[in-house]
Amino acid sequence: MASQLSHNATPFAPKKFPIIVLCDSLHSPANIGALFRICEAFGVEEILFYNCILNIQSNRLLRTSRNTHQRVAYREVTDLASEVARLKNLSYTFIGLEITENSVPLQTLSLPKSSKTVLCIGGERHGISETLLEHTTVNTHITMYGENSSMNVIQATAIALFSLTKL
């Protein structure tokens, strides 16, 4: 019979991917904490917070992140246009995780193996702003089979990061 491994017995193989997650208008401390945790699990290079309510001392964020906020680089961005220009000059491709009139299903997304990616995610209520969507190279969505047209932003981010790290 199989038994669950303890944290100390789990073999870790740390790896970093050239992926930056750009958050647009995230407000929930629980979601931000969960974002740190999932980004650390998938070897994300950095998290950028634009127009977000970021309170690193929030008890809810700290409980949810389980200290991963100390292992993932992050910073707040105030000038979106300058940051986008800087990253595009460094050859990053901007992918919007959003259902749009021209978004492609995540399972059909094709990127070069060595692609440097900025995964853009939106806020809990309104998704990615038009301001940020103007900068995306491609938009992708997760095919869903129920009647709801959306899912939690962090759950969607986890699915997208799983897919991007397997490309």
pLDDT tens-digit map of 128-142: 999 999 999 999 999
* Three-state SS sequence of the chain: CCCCCCCCCCCCCCCCEEEEEEEECCCCHHHHHHHHHHHHHCCEEEEEEECCCCCCCCHHHHHHHCCHHHCCEEEEECCHHHHHHHHHHCCEEEEEECCCCCCEEHHHCCCCCCCEEEEEEEECCCECCHHHHCCCCEEEECCCCCCCCCCCHHHHHHHHHHHHHHC
Domain covering 17-166 assigned CATH 3.40.50.10320 in the classification: no
- Give the Cβ contact number of residue 58 at 10 Å: 17
Instruction: Give helix 29-41 / helix 153-166 axis angle, nearest 10°.
Output: 10
Span 92-112, mean pLDDT? Answer: 95
Q: Domain coordinates of the chain in residue numbers?
A: 17-166
Question: pLDDT digit string (tens) for 29-48?
Answer: 999 999 999 999 999 999 99
